[in-house]
C-alpha cells in the first residue's frame, strides 16, 4: 500500500514501518533511499519493543520534497497485553505515550528527506518539547490511536536542518495527548562535540553535594520504593539508587532528590533505539525524571494517609516542556537526575499534587531540563 501523491513508491504498511527500523531503507522509503542500503547510515525508527508506529494512512506532500508544511496521519495499535502496561499501574507509561507521538515525526522527516544534500552518515535527535499535554490516560482497552502530525516549518543553520511539528493523538472518544516538538539532523561528529545545556558552578556544587541521608539502592527489587510504578525490576526502571535527599532542599524549601543510573552498553534500549546508532531514548530520560519525582513524594512522607495510592503520570491537563542538548550512548558511564519540588497541594486523605523542576546529567554534562512538570497521587476510587 503506497502513501503520498500519485506516483509515490513509499509504503505505509506495518512491514514498511519495521523496515524503517531494521530493514533496508529503500524498503521503507523507496528509490530515494537506495543510497542508504549500503554502508551510509540514515535516520531510523526505533525497533521492537520500542516501536510504536503501526501504519501510515496518508501524507499530503510528495516524498523527498522537503516542504515547509505538510500533514501526516498514522496509527498506533494499542495491544491490551503489551509489556509496558505492567510498568504503570495499568496505564501506559508516560515515556511510551511521548514516544508514540515523537516517532511519526521521525518517519515524516525522513519521508520529506530534509537531509538529501548531506554527505555521509545522518542522525536524527529530538531537541525540544512544548505544551505536551496529556488529556486522558491510555488504558489497555484504548484500541487504535490516530496521530495527526503537522510539519509547521523547517530551518537550516550551520549545516544542520531543524524541523518543527505539532502532533495530535486521539481515538474515537477524542484527544489523548497534544505536543509541539522539534528535531535536528546531525552528523556523528556534531553529536560527539555537543556541549550540553548551560551549567554554573552552583549547579555543579548542588549536583555533587553530600547527602544528609544514606544512599538507597533500588537494585534488589526496588527496596522501599518497590511500591512505586516501574521501580521493581522492569524494563522501564531508569534509576539504580537514590544518592541524595534533602527534606527542605530546593529553592522553595520543599525538598530535593538526586538519583543515579549506571549505563550498561548492552541495555535493551540501545538495541532498539536505533539500529547502528544506539542512544538512550529521550523519552526514557523523561521517565527517569518522573520516577525521581515519585521517589521524592515517597521520601517526603506525602503518601501517608492515602489508601491504595494511584499515580497520575503526568497530571492530566498540566503542560510539560523540555530541552534536550546531549545524548546517552553506550560508552557513557552514569546518568544523574535531580528533581526539586516547586509547589505542593495536599488534600488530606485524598490526593497530593507536586509540581517539580528536573534536570539530568550524563558523565558531568548537563543534557536535559524540564522546567516544570507535575505528578499526582490519589486514593483509589
pLDDT value of residue 51 = 98
Question: Residue 320 and residue 114: Cα distance in Å, rounded?
Answer: 28
What does the DSSP 8-state code read for residue 224?
G
Alpha helix ranges (H) inside the chain: 14-21, 25-29, 94-112, 188-192, 201-208, 268-272, 282-299
Domains and CATH numbers, the chain: 2-192 (3.10.129.10), 201-379 (3.10.129.10)
Per the omega criterion (within 30 degrees of 0), is the bond before 47 cis?
no
pLDDT value of residue 62 = 97
Q: How confident is the model at residue 377 (pLDDT cuts 50, 70, 90)?
A: very high
H or E stretch at 216: strand 216-217
- Contacts within 8 Å (CB) and 24+ apart, 201-209: 203/359, 203/366, 206/338, 207/258, 207/336, 207/338, 207/361, 209/244, 209/246
For residue 275, pLDDT beyond 80: yes
* Strand ranges (E), 83-159: 123-134, 144-157
Question: Residue 124 and residue 126: Cα distance in Å, rounded?
Answer: 7
> Active site includes 273?
yes
Q: Which of these is catalytic: 51, 273, 298, 313?
A: 273
pLDDT digits (tens, 9 = 90+) for 87-117: 777 889 999 999 999 999 999 999 999 999 8
pLDDT digits (tens, 9 = 90+) for 31-83: 999 999 999 999 999 999 999 999 999 999 999 999 999 999 999 999 999 99
What does the DSSP 8-state code read for residue 211?
P
Residue 69: exposed, middle, or buried by beta-carbon count in 10 A (0-12, 13-18, 19+)? exposed
Closest CA to 243 of 255, 260, 228, 265: 260
Q: How confident is the model at residue 157 (pLDDT cuts 50, 70, 90)?
A: confident
Whole-number percent of the chain with pLDDT over 90: 86
Q: How confident is the model at residue 340 (pLDDT cuts 50, 70, 90)?
A: very high
pLDDT value of residue 313 = 75
347, 305 Cβ separation under 8 angstroms? no
Helix (H, G, I), strand (E, B) or coil at 361: strand
Pairing of strands 256-262, 241-246: antiparallel
Question: Residue 102 and residue 180: Cα distance in Å, rounded?
Answer: 10
pLDDT value of residue 119 = 87
Closest CA to 379 of 332, 311, 324, 286: 311
Q: How confident is the model at residue 346 (pLDDT cuts 50, 70, 90)?
A: very high
Segment 261-273 shows an average pLDDT of: 97
pLDDT digits (tens, 9 = 90+) for 178-234: 999 999 999 999 999 889 999 999 999 999 999 999 999 988 777 788 888 877 667
pLDDT digits (tens, 9 = 90+) for 279-322: 999 999 999 999 999 999 999 999 998 988 999 877 999 999 99
Whole-number mean pLDDT of the chain? 95
H or E stretch at 260: strand 256-262
Q: How confident is the model at residue 151 (pLDDT cuts 50, 70, 90)?
A: very high
Amino acid at each position: 500500500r503506497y502513501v503520498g501523491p500519485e506516483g509515490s513508491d513509499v509504503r505505509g504498511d506495518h512491514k514498511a514501518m519495521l523496515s524503517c527500523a531494521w530493514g533496508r531503507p529503500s524498503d521503507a522509503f523507496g528509490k530515494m533511499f537506495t543510497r542508504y542500503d549500503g554502508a551510509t547510515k540514515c535516520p531510523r525508527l526505533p525497533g521492537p519493543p520500542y516501536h510504536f508506529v503501526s501504519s501510515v494512512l496518508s501524507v499530503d506532500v510528495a516524498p523527498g520534497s522537503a516542504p515547509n508544511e505538510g500533514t501526516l496521519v498514522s496509527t498506533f495499535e494499542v495491544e491490551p497485553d503489551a509489556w509496558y502496561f505492567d510498568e504503570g499501574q495499568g496505564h501506559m507509561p508516560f515515556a511510551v505515550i511521548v514516544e508514540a507521538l515523537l516517532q511519526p515525526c521521525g518517519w515524516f522527516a525522513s519521508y520529506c528527506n530534509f537531509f538529501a544534500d548531506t554527505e555521509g552518515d545522518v542522525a536524527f535527535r529530538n531537541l525540544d518539547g512544548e505544551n505536551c499535554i496529556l488529556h486522558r490516560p491510555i488504558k489497555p482497552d484504548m484500541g487504535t490511536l490516530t496521530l495527526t502530525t503537522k510539519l509547521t516549518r523547517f530551518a537550516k543553520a550551520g549545516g544542520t536542518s531543524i524541523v518543527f511539528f505539532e502532533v495530535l493523538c486521539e481515538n474515537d472518544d477524542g484527544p489523548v495527548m497534544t505536543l509541539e516538538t522539534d528535531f535536528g539532523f546531525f552528523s556523528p561528529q556534531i553529536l560527539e562535540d555537543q556541549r550540553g545545556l548551560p551549567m554554573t558552578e552552583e549547579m555543579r556544587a548542588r549536583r555533587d553535594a553530600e547527602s544528609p541521608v544514606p544512599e538507597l539502592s533500588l537494585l534488589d527489587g526496588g527496596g522501599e520504593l518497590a511500591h512505586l510504578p516501574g521501580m521493581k525490576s522492569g524494563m522501564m526502571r531508569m534509576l539504580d539508587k537514590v544518592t541524595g535527599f534533602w527534606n527542605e532542599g530546593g529553592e522553595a524549601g520543599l525538598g530535593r532528590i538526586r538519583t543515579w543510573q549506571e549505563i550498561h552498553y548492552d541495555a535493551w534500549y540501545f538495541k532498539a533505539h536505533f539500529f547502528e546508532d544506539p542512544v538512550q531514548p529521550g523519552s526514557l530520560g523523561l521517565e527517569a525524571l518522573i520516577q525521581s519525582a515519585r521517589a521524592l513524594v515517597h521520601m517526603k512522607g506525602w503518601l501517608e494517609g492515602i489508601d491504595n495510592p494511584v499515580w497520575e503520570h503526568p497530571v492530566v491537563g498540566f503542560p510539560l516542556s523540555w530541552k534536550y542538548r546531549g545524548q546517552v550512548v553506550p560508552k557513557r558511564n552514569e546518568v544523574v537526575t535531580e528533581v526539586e519540588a516547586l509547589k505542593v497541594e495536599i488534600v488530606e486523605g485524598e490526593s497530593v499534587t507536586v509540581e517539580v523542576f528536573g534536570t539530568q546529567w550524563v558523565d558531568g554534562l548537563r543534557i536535559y531540563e524540564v522546567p516544570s512538570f507535575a505528578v499526582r497521587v490519589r486514593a483509589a476510587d
